[in-house]
Amino acid sequence: MERGKMAEAESLETAAEHERILREIESTDTACIGPTLRSVYDGEEHGRFMEKLETRIRNHDREIEKMCNFHYQGFVDSITELLKVRGEAQKLKNQVTDTNRKLQHEGKELVIAMEELKQCRLQQRNISATVDKLMLCLPVLEMYSKLRDQMKTKRHYPALKTLEHLEHTYLPQVSHYRFCKVMVDNIPKLREEIKDVSMSDLKDFLESIRKHSDKIGETAMKQAQQQRNLDNIVLQQPRIGSKRKSKKDTYIIFDTEIESTSPKSEQDSGILDVEDEEDDEEVPGAQDLVDFSPVYRCLHIYSVLGARETFENYYRKQRRKQARLVLQPPSNMHETLDGYRKYFNQIVGFFVVEDHILHTTQGLVNRAYIDELWEMALSKTIAALRTHSSYCSDPNLVLDLKNLIVLFADTLQVYGFPVNQLFDMLLEIRDQYSETLLKKWAGIFRNILDSDNYSPIPVTSEEVYKKVVGQFPFQDTELEKQPFPKKFPFSEFVPKVYNQIKEFIYACLKFSEDLHLSSTEVDDMIRKSTNLLLTRTLSNSLQNVIKRKNIGLTELVQIIINTTHLEKSCKYLEEFITNITNVLPETVHTTKLYGTTTFKDARHAAEEEIYTNLNQKIDQFLQLADYDWMTGDLGNKASDYLVDLIAFLRSTFAVFTHLPGKVAQTACMSACKHLATSLMQLLLEAEVRQLTLGALQQFNLDVRECEQFARSGPVPGFQEDTLQLAFIDLRQLLDLFIQWDWSTYLADYGQPNCKYLRVNPVTALTLLEKMKDTSRKNNMFAQFRKNERDKQKLIDTVAKQLRGLISSHHS
């Protein structure tokens, strides 16, 4: 029973579930019925469900049938109506078809027109879009075309600006087009091309500047010269000791300014051709010669491209190389002034350009760089000038070089370059200039001395007299009172030498101009140079003339007279230097002239040469002596050679009237002493081995002639027999032998008042030996004569005693 209850319960549950599923199928959307049916098939009672479903379908069919039966008449009526409507609809359809056919036929042209209108509208839309795109592209193309034109015309800085606008403003708007991509890809290449072309222009500019630096420098130095001329006109006085101008606004070579954002000019670079200007015309400024726009353009281009440092380094490196080339002097620079001028022009041109670049650009070059270049240039320039100026032997060229260096220094100083070392170097060149002057004046003095006639200057008129006095400071009251014609005591070389000394002083003064030295420094320089002229150059010239082989006594006498007057003129030279330097001689540290010493030395040398010359003349006469030392005859007159010698001495000493008394007296005494010494040597010389008393008597006559000449007073000023003392040795020796006074000599020898005090026993023995040998030879066959034998014994005895005296004297 329980089993039956359970089966009944399960059946009820299944029936309820099927009922629910059926209601769900009836109420659920067809699309969502799948899950419901799956639940049926998943169960085990799907057969019963199918039965249930069939039952439900039959129920619904009965309901539908009932409903249809209830509404059947209305349905029939509706069908009837529909059949009627179908006929009318067919008619309407035919009418519509006919109307459509007509409409299609009539609207065919309209359709064609509409199609055409459609195409036109499409084209219009496309054209409008194309125009819009072209309006975006055209500015790009125009800018690109403008860029190409600027590149073609070498307007590189505007081209770079155009390129910047093109890249940052226009191309981003049309970046999706292929041609824009090509442009974008070409932009770096264009930048490099602009850099390369601008660098090429800069190289051309640097090459042009290098070639034309001398023209720029020449222009700057001409302007400096013009300014100096104006200053001299205003000052109306020498510039010795004055201060140099250091204001750069006195004149400006370059007055071109450049803005910080754009170049000054778009013209090609280079040096403009300018014809040489005459000195009296306005000198063109260097801004008229140089176009700096390539530098400015290249600087701005590299700045915009972010490569300014690269450009600065390149520019400075190239200019350093050019500086080294400019500072390399040509090997033959010292030969002409033009060589120095071109060298200076190039240096000035180089630094004028750099100074302009310094003041017209922002940092391309700086003061430290300029100062470094100038230090290098200054050292190399000074070294080159020291080397090349040392080759110069022409003082005029050295003077011109000095003036050129001063102009060079003044020009660069205007631009702020320190030039003190140049002026210090000029002081070195001043010493060289003095040396070249001394060499030149050595030639001048030599020509004057060689061409002089060494005769007093004859004067025939007052005009000639004043002319000579105007050339040389000479005052002589007695000479002025004498009637014409008359003679100056000195020869022509005195006024000539005096004037040449003044010319030398003027030449020294010329070099000191514009060196910015004080008057004291100039005075000291002139005095030192003049002292060198007097003590070295003129002194050597006089010494050479005095030592000349063919110099005569007359010339020597005239030289002594001339140097005496030149010595007196030294005080006038002192006054002359004082007048031109305005420095009083009493000033502390003032150098004194040594002219007095120079002329005294020359006079002393001339005096010595007179003494030597006189002695040589005496020797020449003595060479004519022809004594017969073996003669037995007693002569009655002096030898002819000695008479001629005495006549020569008398005429010579007569010329000495204008010499200082001491000089004439010394010359006369020297001549007499030399004559006495030479006669003594002649008597005692080894070649005379034998002599007779007769020869000694002849020799005594000659000595007496000499003593007579001494007593006659050939030169005034000697006291009584002073001049005769020159022959005292000969006189006592001859008296001893001629008088044969040996007993007195031997008895009084060594006593202060001895009669034969000047007779040396050695000399007496030598002469006695000569007479002894003669006595023996002449008496070979008369040796048995008593008196001859006694004489020979006496000679032997005297000789023995003389030897004893000599031995005792030596002991």
Confirm if 528 and 589 have CB atoms less than 8 A apart: no
Decide if 694 is inside a domain: no
Task: Tell me the average pLDDT of the chain.
Answer: 78
Residue 494: closest CA among 577, 560, 574, 592: 560
- Does 707 have pLDDT greater than 80? yes
Paired tokens of 44? 């085990």
Distance CA 725, CA 731 (A): 9
* Structural contact between residues 287 and 256, judged by C-beta atoms closer than 8 angstroms: yes
- The residue type found at 148 is R
Decide which of 51, 66, 81 is a domain's last residue.
66
- Average pLDDT estimate for 289-314: 81
Give the residue, 521 or 253, on which the prediction is more confident. 521
Instruction: Answer whether residue 343 is part of any domain.
Output: yes
pLDDT, greater one: 287 or 406: 406
467-510 pLDDT, tens digit each: 888 888 888 888 888 888 888 888 888 999 999 999 998 888 88
Segment holding 804, helix H or strand E: helix 786-810
591: confidence class by pLDDT, cuts 50, 70, 90:
low
Task: Provide the pLDDT for residue 260.
Answer: 35
Q: How far apart are CA 4 and CA 429, in angstroms?
A: 156
| Neighbouring residues of 393: CB distance < 8 A, sequence distance ≥ 6 | 436, 439
Domain assignment present for 38: yes
The residue from 66, 85, 102 where one domain ends is 66
Alpha-carbon torsion, ordered 115, 117, 120, 122, to 10 deg: -70
Q: Is residue 614 within 8 Å of 652, Cβ to Cβ?
A: yes
**37 found inside a domain:** yes
The pLDDT of residue 123 is 92
Give the structural domain span for 779.
741-810
Q: Which of 46-50, 87-91, 281-285 has the highest mean pLDDT?
A: 87-91
What is the mean pLDDT of the segment spanning 706-711?
A: 84
How many residues are there in the chain? Answer: 811
Cis amide leading into 485 (omega within 30): yes
The residue behind tokens 């390129």 is 163
**Tokens 């022009």, residue located:** 345
1 falls in which pLDDT band (50, 70, 90)?
low
Is the pLDDT assigned to residue 15 strictly greater than 50? yes
- Tokens 């264009």 belong to which residue? 190
CB 364 within 8 A of CB 301: no
Q: Tell me what pLDDT residue 586 has.
A: 65
Q: Which amino acid is at 5?
A: K
Q: How many domains does the chain have?
A: 3
Rounded Cα gap, residues 692 and 106, in angstroms: 192
Domain C-terminal end among 370, 395, 417 = 417
- Under a CB-based contact definition with an 8 Å cutoff, are residues 398 and 430 in contact? no
Helix axes 595-622, 570-581, angle to 10 degrees: 150
Beta bridge partners of 291: 270
What's the Cα-to-Cα distance from 148 to each of 143, 183, 251, rounded to whole Å? 9, 12, 43
Secondary structure E strands in 420-522? 458-459, 486-487
Phi, psi of 458 (to 5 degrees): -80, 145
Percent of the chain past pLDDT 90, that is, above it, reads: 3
Residue 262 above 60 pLDDT? no
Q: Do 666 and 611 form a contact (C-beta atoms < 8 A)?
A: yes
Residue at 379 is within a domain: yes
What is the C-alpha to C-alpha distance for residues 563 and 595, in angstroms, rounded to an integer? 10
545: Cβ contacts below 8 Å, ≥ 6 apart: 449, 450, 551, 555, 559
Dist. CA 420–CA 686, nearest whole Å: 76
Q: Read off the pLDDT band of 242 (50, 70, 90).
A: very low
Q: Per-residue pLDDT for 714 more than 90?
A: no
Range among 388-397, 645-654, 789-798 with highest mean pLDDT value: 645-654
- For 615-631, letters b (16+ CB in 10 Å) and e give bebbeebbeebebebeb
Concatenated DSSP letters of 616-644: HHHHHHHTT----TT--PPPSS--HHHHH
Query: Average pLDDT for residues 230-257, to the nearest whole number?
Result: 47
Residue type, 595: G
Residue in 634, 645, 639, 624 with CA at minimum distance from that of residue 709: 645
pLDDT of residue 129: 86
Whether 718 is in a domain gets the answer no
Query: At 217, is the secondary structure helix, strand, or coil?
Result: helix
Give Cβ neighbours of residue 381 (< 8 Å, ≥ 6 apart): 327, 347, 422
Residues 497, 220 contacting (CB under 8 angstroms): no
- Report the DSSP pairing between strands 290-291 and 486-487: unpaired
Say yes or no to pLDDT of 220 above 90.
Answer: no
In a domain, 686, yes or no: no
**Which of 227-231, 684-688, 696-700, 746-750 is most confident?**
696-700
CB 242 within 8 A of CB 516: yes
pLDDT computed for residue 120 by the predictor: 93
CA atoms within 13 A on the CB side of 754: 20
The burial of 790, by beta-carbon neighbours within 10 Å (0-12 exposed, 13-18 middle, 19 or more buried), is given as: exposed
- Answer yes or no: are the C-beta atoms of 439 and 477 closer than 8 Å: no
- Is residue 525 one of the residues assigned to a domain? no
State the pTM of this model. Answer: 0.65
Count of beta carbons in the 10 Å neighbourhood of residue 558:
25
Question: For residue 447, what pLDDT is reported?
Answer: 92
Residue type, 609: E
The span from the CA of 466 to the CA of 484, in Å, is: 13
Of 2-11, 569-578, 625-634, the one with minimum mean pLDDT is 2-11
pLDDT at 384: 83
Measured distance CA(71)–CA(143) in Å, rounded: 89
Strand, helix or coil for residue 779: coil
Q: pLDDT at position 243, please? A: 39
DSSP state of 716: T
Strands (E), 96-239: none
Q: How many helices (H) and strands (E) does the chain have?
A: 27, 4
111-163: per-residue pLDDT in tens? Answer: 888 889 999 999 999 998 888 877 777 777 777 787 788 777 777 778 777 77
- Both tokens of 379, joined, read 């050292």
Rounded Cα distance, 87 and 65, in Å: 31
